[in-house]
Amino acid sequence: MGKDGLIETVKAMIADILAAVGLIPRVYHWEEFKEFLANFLTNLKKSIAEEMRGIAHATVIVAKRINFALIEIKHKLFYKEDGKWMEETTTFEVKADEVPSYISDKIAAKEVEITHEMELELGMSI
């Protein structure tokens, strides 16, 4: 399986996530979100290690405050396909009062990168 196989694997993983969430937005508890993201990233890293050797790719996590009670967190995967950069985004809504203050204090109404902070929370590199 080559680059196409990896892309299909990533798309299938994202489709599974979207199917689990359904059409109704789901609000995650912070610990539940961290567990889900850690599992997702572990599986994604395995797929990348197996299938994406030599393929340009990157990942980032950004967040913004939706309102007083909710924070939107996005995992963005970028990869090169047929010479073009592609982006796959998975979005989560998390209860703002459960997000550690060193992260939530950084988040405003516009997107800010929190990749490093999430690496600290998950205890793994992203």
Say whether pLDDT at 15 is over 60: no
Say whether pLDDT at 71 is over 80: yes
Give how many domains the chain has, as a whole number: 1
Q: What local confidence, expressed as pLDDT, does residue 50 receive?
A: 72
Name the residue with tokens 């197996």.
Answer: 50
The DSSP letter of residue 69 is S
Average pLDDT, the chain: 80
Provide the pLDDT confidence category of residue 44 given band limits of 50, 70 and 90.
confident
Q: What is the distance between the alpha carbons of residues 88 and 7, in angstroms, rounded to a whole number?
A: 10
Supply the pTM of this predicted model: 0.65
Neighbours of 99 (CB within 10 A): 23
Q: What local confidence, expressed as pLDDT, does residue 98 receive?
A: 92
- Structural domain that includes position 88: 3-122
Mean pLDDT score, 34-51: 81
